[in-house]
A and B are shown apart, each in its own frame.
Chain A
Amino acid sequence: MDDVVQETPRVRTLQLAVPDWPGHRAGQHLDVRLTAEDGYQAQRSYSIASAPEQELAITVERLEDGEVSPYLVEELRPGDEIELRGPIGGYFVWEDGDNRPVLLVAGGAGIVPLMAMIRHRVAAGSTAPFRLLYSSRTIGDVIYREELELLVADDPGLEVFHTLTREQPAGWDGYARRIDEDMLREVAFPAGDGPAVYICGSTRFVDAAADGLVALGYDPLTIKTERFGATGG
């Protein structure tokens, strides 16, 4: 691990220098394995945050009862070594040759693999229209907030819609509730445009977003999902 970015109080990005890294695709993940002195091993999956064009990075949210994430978020220092397996995933990936409109729907740390897709779109010079609907609890929990603002200001092909479900700052003009069918109707490309969809978040979040899009006429086969556990990380 060669550098750290504190994204929010509970979330850190770890830049990883892997000498024989074979490269990755936007949306893939990797497994981190920690081994204690007594041989006990714990392993968890983390989404890759960086574009294929960038140095490998993962973004990790600290889960209170986690075995691995508290170590990665609070203990790991630049120069420390961790054991990785990956890249993993051939389904939840976006390639820059795909020119369909792309709808990204993120719940909390589910933004991470979707951010890799956004960064890949920029780095590869893709003109595929991207829309991101990103649900967070509070403004302080929004990961990559500044980078997203800068990208949107610079690029009419990228639109970002935030919803804050728990607490909103004064003057907030975004959404202020959990994702529902009305919100999806306002944000999503019309189903007839044939968009590709990537949804990442907790199981409950992913199911709600996918069900809402199917109700709007989206073909279930165009909706790709990735769920992560709310505990155990």
Chain B
Amino acid sequence: MRVEDMRLDGNAVGGVFADLFGLEMTDQMTVCASCGAHEVVACLEVYVCSPGTVVRCRHCHAVMMCIVEGRNRTWLDVSGVATLELRR
């Protein structure tokens, strides 16, 4: 199977994000720190086939977020996100 076939979308991280942020996140707007593209979480590229989950920009494919879930804790790297808009 090609790596491309393992690409999911941001719907796949809706559950873990709901836990972390306490909000429905799939329709929240992000801005990519690399290219500045605006996109809702559901439209980002998501790869779950690694030890953690990797979220990439669908336009420039830069890594925006990494999520690693361990026992009783979660590591969240958002260094590739310029802005995350949280509408309540």
Is A85 at the interface (CB under 8 A from chain B)?
Answer: yes
| A45 in contact with B1 (CB, 8 Å) | no
What DSSP secondary structure best describes chain A's contact surface?
strand
- The segment from B7-15, B60-68, B74-82 that touches chain A is B7-15
B12 cross-chain contacts in A, Cβ below 8 A: 45, 227
Q: How far is the CB of B35 from chain A (nearest CB, A)?
A: 17
Q: Contact at B24–A89, with CB atoms within 8 Å?
A: yes
A88 near B15: Cβ-Cβ < 8 Å: yes
Would you call A91 and B6 a contact (CB within 8 A)?
no
Contact of A232 among B9, B14, B49 (CB under 8 A): B49
Q: How many A-B residue pairs have CB under 8 A?
A: 69
> Number of residues in B with C-beta < 8 Å to the partner?
24
Q: Are A88 and B8 in contact (CB under 8 A)?
A: no
Distance (whole angstroms) from the CB of A32 to the closest CB of chain B: 10
**Chain A interface: which size bin?**
20 to 34
**Which residues A17-68 have CB closer than 8 A to chain B?**
29-31, 43, 45
| Mask of A79-123 contacts with B, CB within 8 angstroms, 1/0 | 000000110111110000000000000000000000000000000
Contact of A203 with B7 at beta-carbon distance under 8 Å, contacts A29-B14, A89-B14 already known: yes
Of B1, B9, B15, B49, which contacts A227 at CB under 8 A? B9
Point out residues on A near B: beta carbons under 8 Å.
29-31, 43, 45, 85-86, 88-92, 202-204, 224-232
